[in-house]
Amino acid sequence: MTAMLSTMMNTPLGVTTLHRFGARHFVSSRVGDYDGERIHWRRYDEIDADSARLANGLRGLGLSEGDRVGTFMWNSSRHLEAYLAVPSMGAVLHTVNCRLSPEHMAYIINHAGDRFLIVDSRLASVLLPVLPLISKVEYLIVTGDAASLDDPRVVAYDALVADSPADYPWPEPTENAAAGICYTSGTTGNPKGVAYSQRTTYLHALASRAVDSFAVQERDVILMLPSMFHANAWGFPYSGWMDVRRRYGHARPLSSRATPANNDRADSANPDGNGAHTAGRFVARRRTKASRSSVFSRNRIRWIGGAVLDDRGGARPLGRPSGSRLGND
């Protein structure tokens, strides 16, 4: 007897599906880039249009399905465009940890087989010793000041998107196709990599919205402290895109960390801090009013990965703040 098939719709579970969902239903939601003084806001429809421009630009440079695209970037809305565009067009996003040694950075770029590397110009000096070791990378697509890298492979990101159409015929990659690659920090030998599938990326974003997980919801504001090159920032770039009204990136210098003072400055620059998600390496999410630090005083629960918080909102190795819920990354 032939098995009876469902008559329900069959929607592929992948980055393209969540990408289009957020672009369609949350047009006026915003993402902000914090520069240390103020937040520069961009609407989801602007980011969606530029993700299409990036996809067209990459296609024009010769990108094919399954090609690996590395990112060497701080948290930013430009980085989010790559998160959306690269897997949605059937390529594979490889977020490179800019805090590794030059040898390990070169190793993972070569091991992943990156043909393209999108570079934040603020990290140009960090990338310089790596460039001679990654000869197989064909294009260095530089955001910000493209002149910060003197290399014949450099393409200016702004020029690439400016010259490209704002729409793209997004395909539907198979659910088991790779969507992204992350590597360990190489504490035992060379870093080890894992490829996330389209399906697992979608399900991870969906799971982070569950009540017993991070419970991301439409009313939330996300302060992105986890690095987008670390474990896909716990999936927040995707879960936030699916159902959040505002999210802002905390762009930090290489030597700094998420400190109470830095968090306070970013939070005070946010005009809509009530009910915020605070997401970070040490702070993931909090919804409790019991805090001495203004960055957390308007939030409701505390999620912590890898450490715990003291009363000022800074990380400390031992102990547990009263009333906190702990989570691991």
Please report which residue ranges of 5-94 form alpha helices under DSSP H: 15-25, 44-60, 77-88
pLDDT at 322: 42
Find tokens 């390990």 and name the residue.
Answer: 104
Q: How far is CA 98 from the centre of its chain?
A: 14
Mean pLDDT across the stretch 36-47? 90
Distance CA 220, CA 243 (A): 9
pLDDT at 235: 87
Note the pLDDT tens digit of each residue in 159-203.
999 989 999 999 999 999 999 999 998 888 999 999 999 999 999
Note the pLDDT tens digit of each residue in 132-163.
999 999 999 999 999 999 999 999 999 999 98
Mean pLDDT of the chain: 81
For residue 323, pLDDT over 50 is answered with: no
pTM check: above 0.75: yes
Who has greater pLDDT, 306 or 9? 9
Q: Give the neighbor-by-neighbor strand order of the sheet with 246-250.
A: 39-43, 30-34, 246-250, 221-224, 276-279
Q: What is the second-level CATH architecture of the domain 43-184+191-200?
A: 3-Layer(aba) Sandwich (3.40)
Note the pLDDT tens digit of each residue in 245-277.
666 665 443 333 344 444 455 555 555 544 445
Task: At 273, give phi and psi (nearest 5°).
Answer: -75, -20
